[in-house]
Structure 1
């Protein structure tokens, strides 16, 4: 969260199930997860500037977003990831009573969603990465791993900044896992960015450059020695601005890289995904006064540059991914007003597309498929879990 002198935090989807659970510090983030050591969106290296496939009309795209029934009547679904059109996972919560919930993992078999398991108590899953059906990580208030049979909780390393709250997780081809978030001493506004790596036995805190107060909300890996994390550095006083934050791992150390964005605005990044070492997108939002609009930036292997986005009200972006047909999507929104953008490579800009129609918590592409998934809660009703699918 930002300091008291900056804007209210533009979180990438951190919404409590209800006020009664505020004390449990549900702290999720929406990050496109890594699959098989690569970004879930795609392992393709097509340049972002390449022309996108012909755009569909808004009406035809809207007709193709379809709700898929889920075996949770009341609760929240916070993260989703896919290995194929017949293998996908989602995690979240089932509300058991006014004061109790249980963490659940759902699995898609190509036809329907079923509950595969429950997670350990107090794990509160918020982000998900799937390397295989027997190697899944989810993080939230705890770090837990699925080996195909059971979930095991693994304690995060201690951090001098305070309690570590992970917001995103990914894996790399060498078998490691990486989680990013923030370390808090007394309160959220005192948080500082935090990164930890899993070596197969335990989590280890990473030394980061001093960026002041802030947080990391998303992480993506090109290779074990090429990892990017994105988030926000909070405003330091009433006259300063919150800025987008980008950190890079080169195999030996983390360094801060300057992130572009409007100079007269409060900026933040909520999602980042790498398609190649010279093709990385990060998305978030930018606020000036009471006006909020989408923010998207691209790395071409040499420098980050801001990309043109439409002026969408409450158009904060939470995740970005590339479908199997080459279409590049960014998804987000505020509350029950979801937003979806599609990249028009020929015109060099992002354009509005039909949105999933739910309160979006998480978004995922499907390897070797043009399909898209979005998970969260229904726009109407009281905490009705929802997963919707766009069939390419």
Structure 2
């Protein structure tokens, strides 16, 4: 069950590209790096998938442990696991906070018949509880991402229907209940990420199955925007090398401001990932990532209002051949490599979360369930 739960609740997140058809530049060397935080009190069977922060007094990481949802909170000196009621079989894939006493986590739960269904969990400052969602979607479903625009304006996205033929799925919390929201003309595919630049300013991305004018079936990235009244498709910029110049897969989206939204996608045909930015009126390509972040793979994305953006990915260790985490920080018009402690020798760069002022950044290293979870911290020099 554990491998199945991880496979179905995870949202792929990968990054990179160029703003023009040029080779990606090497990142500048960094004088500061991550430090490893104390996770000794967490279960070694824990697989962490997402992290969020509401400031120095509120940091949460979520995932799966022993086939059940898992939540950990930073206590200032060490990470401690938190409990919830009632007990659930499944796992968590995303977490977002409106404040220190208002946190949402979503993922997948298993019904008595072992059918995967959307899972909603909330902490109002008094502890974690499961929250009833919309009526269970036909064929089951999974939640992959959650974003908080306001305490009464929360969005969660993923898939509904059988795993073999899913459809995009979105739900909205209005302060009283969760309701399913239908995106127009999205009959098949998946939503992988949601972000909120503010109330009535929400973006989603994912992938849809479409038939082009040539009659060929293709994957096409879903990029849509909610303005408080309706959803509107906002196609990303053309990507040279992609079939017909269409970005096939949108994997992660993050908003720093209404005119600063970052999009990460993948072009399987060229074995590369790409990043685009929304400037308030259109999507543009770039900026080019360093080569290590430009490779396909599980990655993380975090954009904050201070103008700093992070991406993570994994590179191959030239000696052992195993993956090693790599992180890059966009600031002042360039990417900077941010070193990882030498004790973190294997794993994939995972989810990243940054405080609103950009002063502190938290990051996961995906190690699976092979040992104590790894959570890193970076303090701006």
- Please state how far the C-alpha of 1:77 moved relative to its aligned partner: 0.9
- Please state how far the C-alpha of 1:23 moved relative to its aligned partner: 6.3
CA 1:126 to 1:174, structure 2 compared with 1: closer, same or farther past 3 Å? closer
Q: Deviations over 1:370-391 (max 9, x none)?
A: 3221124338x82542111222
Structural mapping, 1:101-120, within 5 Å: 101-118=67-84, 120=87
Q: Which residue of 2 aligns with 1:242?
A: 219
Structural mapping, 1:242-321, within 5 Å: 242-265=219-242, 267-288=248-269, 291-310=270-289, 311-312=291-292, 314-316=295-297, 318-321=299-302
Q: Which residue of 2 aligns with 1:148?
A: 125
Question: 2:5, 2:90 within 8 Å by CA — same for their partners in 1?
Answer: no
Larger mean CA deviation between 220-229 and 360-369 belongs to 360-369
2:47 aligned with 1:60, yes or no?
A: no
Secondary structure of residue in 1 paired with 2:143: strand
Q: Which residue of 2 aligns with 1:44?
A: none
1:69 to 38, 51, 54: 38
Q: Distance in 1 between the 2:371 and 2:265 partners? A: 25
Structural mapping, 1:133-212, within 5 Å: 133-141=100-108, 142-158=119-135, 162-173=139-150, 175-184=152-161, 186=162, 188-212=163-187
Q: Distance in 1 between the 2:363 and 2:210 partners? A: 32
Q: Distance in 2 between the 1:278 and 1:24 partners? A: 34
Q: Distance in 2 between the 1:336 and 1:330 partners? A: 16
Question: 2:326, 2:339 within 8 Å by CA — same for their partners in 1?
Answer: yes
Question: 1:221, 1:227 within 8 Å by CA — same for their partners in 2?
Answer: yes
Question: 2:307, 2:331 within 8 Å by CA — same for their partners in 1?
Answer: no
Question: 1:103, 1:123 within 8 Å by CA — same for their partners in 2?
Answer: yes
Q: Distance in 1 between the 2:211 and 2:139 partners? A: 19
The number of residues matched between the two structures is 336
Q: Which residue of 2 aligns with 1:386?
A: 374
1:226 to 198, 201, 213: 201
Q: Which residue of 1 aligns with 2:311?
A: 330
CA 1:169 to 1:340, structure 2 compared with 1: closer, same or farther past 3 Å? same
Secondary structure of residue in 2 paired with 1:372: strand
Q: Deviations over 1:345-366 (max 9, x none)?
A: 54xxx64624655423321112
- Please state how far the C-alpha of 1:200 moved relative to its aligned partner: 2.1
2:313 aligned with 1:342, yes or no?
A: no
CA 1:250 to 1:23, structure 2 compared with 1: closer, same or farther past 3 Å? closer
Unmatched 5+ residue regions in structure 2?
Answer: 14-25, 109-118, 316-321
- Please state how far the C-alpha of 1:297 moved relative to its aligned partner: 0.9
CA 1:56 to 1:360, structure 2 compared with 1: closer, same or farther past 3 Å? closer
Q: Deviations over 1:134-167 (max 9, x none)?
A: 2111000111111222322223223766423211
Q: Distance in 1 between the 2:35 and 2:6 partners? A: 33
2:60 aligned with 1:89, yes or no?
A: yes
Question: 1:248, 1:255 within 8 Å by CA — same for their partners in 2?
Answer: yes
Dislocated runs of 4+, deviation >4 Å: 235-239
Q: Which residue of 2 aligns with 1:353?
A: 337
- Please state how far the C-alpha of 1:127 moved relative to its aligned partner: 0.3
- Please state how far the C-alpha of 1:307 moved relative to its aligned partner: 1.1
- Please state how far the C-alpha of 1:280 moved relative to its aligned partner: 1.0
1:372 to 361, 365, 372: 361
CA 1:207 to 1:160, structure 2 compared with 1: closer, same or farther past 3 Å? same
Name the TM-score, length of structure 1 as normaliser: 0.75
Question: 1:140, 1:166 within 8 Å by CA — same for their partners in 2?
Answer: yes
- Please state how far the C-alpha of 1:20 moved relative to its aligned partner: 4.9
Secondary structure of residue in 2 paired with 1:210: coil
